[in-house]
A and B are shown apart, each in its own frame.
Chain A
Amino acid sequence: MSKRSIGLLAVAGVVVAAALWFTVALPGQGSSPGVARTEDGKPNLNGIWQSFTTANWNIEAHSAEAGLRPELMGAYGAQPGGMSIIVDGDGTIPYKPEALAERDTNFKNRMTPKITNDPTRFDSGDPELQCFRPGVPRANYMPYPFQIFQDQNQILVVYEYKWSMRQIHVDPQMEAPVDSWMGWSNGKWEGDTLVVDVKGFNGYSWFDRAGNYATDMLHVVERWTPQGPNHLMYEATIEDPNVYTRPWKISFPMYRRLEPNVQLIEFNCVPFVERLLYDPLGLYFPPGTRPDEER
């Protein structure tokens, strides 16, 4: 074999390798390396994901603390410390003064649900304590996994907590027909980022157990950007002119759950909260049947 043909082969080899490299690295239209893709070239977000922050206790920076019933719950009821997930300003929520006072009242009454047969029941108590839907963005950083089911025109997200779900409408998009806990989500792809506009909230959900909250004017714009095969960055811009002085932003990574047999396990919490909610009304244990009552 002449030197020239070896040279040609080497050149051909480099060309083939380069072609293969591009095929492997750029299987679709995007550019993030190692990101799996769907038939239409979009990042493939299908799978079970979970974020690992302590934001469900408090999205702002917080120390570890004992829980509300330490005589009963000990370390079980305690909260872990953690960093703020708010990535702009000083890491706190830019509340208007009166709204900040309301947040503090929420915190004080977080374990005091008020059960009535009218909407004032939502005035007191953390919705999570009562097994209410978590809303957005809270659902994304609760300490439970969630599963993304991705079709081209609709993306379904099912959260293990309460088995709550939301549909992200890609095509057709539409206005929220009615207010709801999880809001109404319209999604579009910007390069490899899934951008989801969420509006139509009913204003009852909280961001965490610390009482941080929004009203029904809440508007969340989420950005889900894959960083590789097994993690993505989640970012959300949050605005609500009723309670904040300006829009603010949170961000944290989400990780793919890699156990080969991983699956969501039903967390239907309604039966878990019936005693908490209905016993004070005499509706859980019928009269004369309480275990600690004289019969």
Chain B
Amino acid sequence: MRIAVVRKVVVVALVVVAAASMAVLMAQAPPSGAKPLAQELTNTDAAIKAAAELAKREAATKDYAVPRTPWGDPDLRGVYLTATYTPLQRPAELANKPLYTEEEAVAAFKQAVESDAEVDPRTVHYDWKEYSMDAWQGGARPNLRTSLIVDPPDGRLPPTTPEAQKRREAAQAAAKQRNPAAGIQTFGNTYTRCVLGLGAIPLMRGGNPGADSAAAAAGVTAEVQIFQSPGFVTLVMQSNNDVRIIPVDGRPHLSTKVRHWFGDSRGRWDGNTLVVETTNFKDRRPAVNFQGATDGLVVVERFTRIAPNTVRYEYTMTDPATWTRPWSVDSEMPRVEPNLIYEFACHEQNYGVINVVRGTQIREREAIAAGRPIGGGGRGGGGGE
């Protein structure tokens, strides 16, 4: 009986997907005079080839003379892709191999792109590529690094402190107390609630498509516009239209009494590099900060334009209440077109959260009735913090 129902659901879903694909395919047939979609948006082989060539060309840029804004600051202006197929942590099978050769990097990229482009028919969600939202369609490139983390040298997150382990256990215990636990706030996912987008700080978190829903969504609306004006650098995220305003005028940090979801950022120029220190994070409980950090987190980011279409993006995360030592990432953001960000009215049209929370409540009631354990916090697709 149950199997029959599942089968019916799958068939219905497939019909819906097929209808949607037809609509997209028909929409892709360009009316006379319209520009057909670029090969790099529809064909993975063409995209891989173009990305590999661009990566090679940008890497060959030596001693790049960074252009200046009219008021004399290094010019970082533009829209950049924050999605990457490089995982945050180095996979076990690549231990002791911090760098790929160029050929290996392209092969790893090819594998990631092809797995990203593939859609599991059991996934009752979007095929992002039909909306040109896969990272390979958005300008992702091969990377010689096997992980974003470069310090610790093993490319892995440092061990968490005993305090952080206690926090995690307490959160899990608290989640078990709330039966059935699913409500908007205990739901714990700031992205599903439209409180925060997919990552305003740090900007690049690493992807490993297929590993989990957050990573699979890594390429979705993963653009940041670096907007410069005298004395300020402002980061405008496509995801949720999150905005980070960074004064670059030497003023001190805000009072520690003022806490921001994106923290309080202060920038300074170190040669051609924009160095941004961010503190004053908000306590996000019951949601979690990036990688389970506390509001005592300090993030130091470095932005350097190293080629016409590439900004090197490094960051160091320090939170003695969470990690036994700071850890650092070194990555690159490809510049993409056009140079604008569209409105992302997430909360206004958040129809989905109603059904997602209702569905979770039902699933939990069923689990209790069947004597199965129910899930803890952090449910719901799509990453977030």
A binding-site residues for B, Cβ under 8 Å: 38-40, 44, 46, 115-119, 121, 127, 130-133, 147, 149-152, 154, 156, 158, 163-165, 167, 169, 177-178, 180-182, 204, 261, 263-266, 268, 270-271, 274, 278, 281-289
Partner of A283, one of B77, B196, B230, B354: B354
Query: Contact between A39 and B70 (Cβ–Cβ < 8 Å)?
Result: yes
Given A265-B254, A270-B195, 5 additional A-B pairs, CB 8 A = A117-B354, A149-B232, A156-B236, A268-B261, A274-B193
**Nearest chain A residue, comparing its CB with the CB of B262:** A266
Partner of A268, one of B195, B340, B341: B195
Cα-based distance from A117 to B247 in the complex (angstroms): 39
Cα-based distance from A167 to B77 in the complex (angstroms): 14
Contact with A along B107-146 (1 / 0, CB 8 A): 0000000000000000000000000000000000000000
CB contacts (< 8 Å) of A261 on chain B: these are 251
Instruction: Report if B227 contacts A (CB, 8 A).
Output: yes
Contact with A along B239-253 (1 / 0, CB 8 A): 001110101000100
CB contacts (< 8 Å) of B161 on chain A: these are none
CB contacts (< 8 Å) of A271 on chain B: these are 185, 193, 195
Query: Contact between B186 and A167 (Cβ–Cβ < 8 Å)?
Result: no
Query: Contact between B258 and A149 (Cβ–Cβ < 8 Å)?
Result: no
Query: Contact between B184 and A278 (Cβ–Cβ < 8 Å)?
Result: yes
CB contacts (< 8 Å) of B150 on chain A: these are none
Instruction: Report if B7 contacts A (CB, 8 A).
Output: no
Cα-based distance from A133 to B254 in the complex (angstroms): 26
Query: Contact between A152 and B70 (Cβ–Cβ < 8 Å)?
Result: yes
Instruction: Report if B351 contacts A (CB, 8 A).
Output: yes
Partner of A149, one of B227, B261, B355: B227
Query: Contact between A158 and B361 (Cβ–Cβ < 8 Å)?
Result: no
Contact with A along B172-183 (1 / 0, CB 8 A): 000000111111
Instruction: Report if B318 contacts A (CB, 8 A).
Output: no
CB contacts (< 8 Å) of A285 on chain B: these are 183
Cα-based distance from A140 to B381 in the complex (angstroms): 36
CB contacts (< 8 Å) of A204 on chain B: these are 348
Cα-based distance from A179 to B185 in the complex (angstroms): 31
Q: Could you give 24 example pairs across A and B, Cβ below 8 Å?
A: A38-B230, A116-B351, A117-B355, A118-B351, A147-B245, A149-B232, A151-B77, A167-B340, A169-B340, A263-B247, A268-B195, A268-B196, A268-B261, A270-B195, A274-B184, A274-B193, A278-B357, A283-B357, A284-B183, A284-B184, A284-B185, A286-B181, A288-B180, A289-B183
Instruction: Report if B312 contacts A (CB, 8 A).
Output: no
CB contacts (< 8 Å) of A121 on chain B: these are 351
Query: Contact between B358 and A283 (Cβ–Cβ < 8 Å)?
Result: yes
Given the interface pairs A115-B354, A118-B351, the reply to whether A154 lies near B245 with Cβ below 8 Å is no
Query: Contact between B234 and A158 (Cβ–Cβ < 8 Å)?
Result: yes
Query: Contact between A286 and B186 (Cβ–Cβ < 8 Å)?
Result: yes
CB contacts (< 8 Å) of A118 on chain B: these are 351
Instruction: Report if B160 contacts A (CB, 8 A).
Output: no
Query: Contact between B243 and A274 (Cβ–Cβ < 8 Å)?
Result: no
Contact with A along B330-349 (1 / 0, CB 8 A): 00000000011111010111
Given the interface pairs A40-B70, A274-B193, A286-B181, the reply to whether A133 lies near B229 with Cβ below 8 Å is no
Interface of B, secondary structure class, is loop
Given the interface pairs A132-B348, A261-B251, the reply to whether A286 lies near B183 with Cβ below 8 Å is yes
Instruction: Report if B71 contacts A (CB, 8 A).
Output: yes
CB contacts (< 8 Å) of A178 on chain B: these are 342
**Nearest chain A residue, comparing its CB with the CB of B287:** A271
Cα-based distance from A121 to B181 in the complex (angstroms): 26
Query: Contact between B229 and A165 (Cβ–Cβ < 8 Å)?
Result: no
A202 to chain B: closest CB distance in Å? Answer: 8
Cα-based distance from A180 to B349 in the complex (angstroms): 11
A151 to chain B: closest CB distance in Å? Answer: 6
Instruction: Report if B162 contacts A (CB, 8 A).
Output: no
Contact with A along B46-77 (1 / 0, CB 8 A): 00000000000000000000000111000001
B363 to chain A: closest CB distance in Å? Answer: 13
Max chain B Cβ within 10 angstroms of own Cβ: one of A147, A150, A278: A278
Sorted nearest first, the 3 A-B pairs with minimum C-beta distance are A117-B351, A180-B343, A286-B183
**Nearest chain A residue, comparing its CB with the CB of B180:** A286
CB contacts (< 8 Å) of A181 on chain B: these are 343, 345, 348
B376 to chain A: closest CB distance in Å? Answer: 14
Given the interface pairs A165-B241, A286-B180, the reply to whether A39 lies near B185 with Cβ below 8 Å is no
